[in-house]
Amino acid sequence: MSHTLPWLTSPNDFPAPGASWGPGSPAPGLLAAGGALDLRYLYRAYAQGTFPWFSDGQPILWWSPDPRMVLPLAGFRLHRSLKKTLQRFRTAPACEVRVDHDFSAVIHTCAGTPRAGQGGTWIVPEMVRAYEELHAAGHAHSVETWVDGRLLGGLYCVAFGRAVFGESMFAHATDASKIALAALVGLCRRGGVQLIDCQQNTRHLASLGAHEIPRAQFLRHVEQARQLPGPRWQFDPQDWNAVLDPAAHALPWENGLPIKTPP
């Protein structure tokens, strides 16, 4: 079977997500190639749950995998060791979480940190420039772990309303990226966000409560969530309560949440 790939010349050229390559193809989830990494393309892509992912020497590649890996925030799995780490972190004067304090440092550090099992990074210079523009436009954010005035870990994500898409993270100290992720979970729960998109299925994310859902279900979530007022992108120390003791700090909107973590 031959597989053709649409070449984008305009943001309006994006195929419907259901047109992405399926199982048995050379690259399941691949939707299109070409276009540009600018705000027009990124706005259109994320509105339909599509994201760019490519390496040096490749054209811009756009992806819409099925199923989709997501982290339902009500099902965030806090292991005992991480819980102890967070409890120590929140009470230590030298430790703090900062949001959007140094987005550029976070994405550049992520770009210099190859993923496990990969010889390089997919966050090429073109990608860095594009997401710095998205950050300047208010739709990309960094959550940062600081200790003694040093940036030791962090992550960046994309957000349109309450549709939040995790992108990449790094750690220069044990659990530094997990602390940032836990802080993002607390911030987002307080802001009414139901889930964070994880894009790819990894064992690490699964251990934290992430799981796959059908793409159609994910796209319905994106369409609804992006039209709602987004969270306030500031971290309040009280946000730790929703992470450390979620049962005691369940939010009204979480009653009857349609997306549950499987047993």
How many Cβ atoms from other residues are within 10 Å of residue 121's Cβ?
A: 16
What Rg, from alpha-carbon coordinates, does the chain have? 18
Q: Which domain holds residue 16?
A: 7-65
Q: Which residues does residue 143 pair with via DSSP β-bridges, in sequence order? A: 99, 155
Q: What's the whole-model pTM score?
A: 0.91
Distance CA 210, CA 54 (A): 24
User: Which residues neighbour 212 within 8 Å (Cβ) at sequence distance 6 or greater?
Assistant: 67, 68, 69, 70, 201
pLDDT greater than 70 at residue 242: yes
117 and 19 in a common domain: no
What pLDDT sits at residue 200?
A: 86
Domains contained in the chain, number? 2
Structure confidence by residue, pLDDT tens digits, 135-152: 999 999 999 999 999 999
Which of 44, 65, 86 terminates a domain? The answer is 65
pLDDT at residue 36 greater than cutoff 80: yes
Residues 37 and 82 both lie in one domain = no
Location of structure tokens 């210099």 = 112
CA-closest candidate to residue 208, choices 77, 15, 84, 25: 77
Strand 30-34 with 7-8, pairing: parallel
- Is the pLDDT assigned to residue 31 strictly greater than 90? yes
Q: In this structure, what DSSP letter does residue 101 have?
A: S
Token look-up 């739709």 returns 139
Residue 15 CA to residue 202 CA, distance in Å, equals 27
In a domain, 97, yes or no: yes
Beta bridge partners of 211: 70
User: Is 78 in the same domain as 179?
Assistant: yes
Provide mean pLDDT across the span 35-49. Answer: 98
Closest by CA position to 30, among listed 2, 57, 59, 5: 5
Q: Are residues 147 and 173 in the same domain?
A: yes
Amino acid, single-letter form, for residue 102: D
Same domain, 30 and 59: yes
The reply to whether 19 and 82 lie within a common domain is no
Q: DSSP code of 17?
A: G
Tokens in use for 9? 């010349």
With cut-offs at 50, 70 and 90, classify the pLDDT of residue 247: low
Residue that is last in its domain, among 65, 82, 106: 65
Tokens (6 digits) for 107: 């994405």
The pLDDT score that the predictor gives to residue 122 is 80
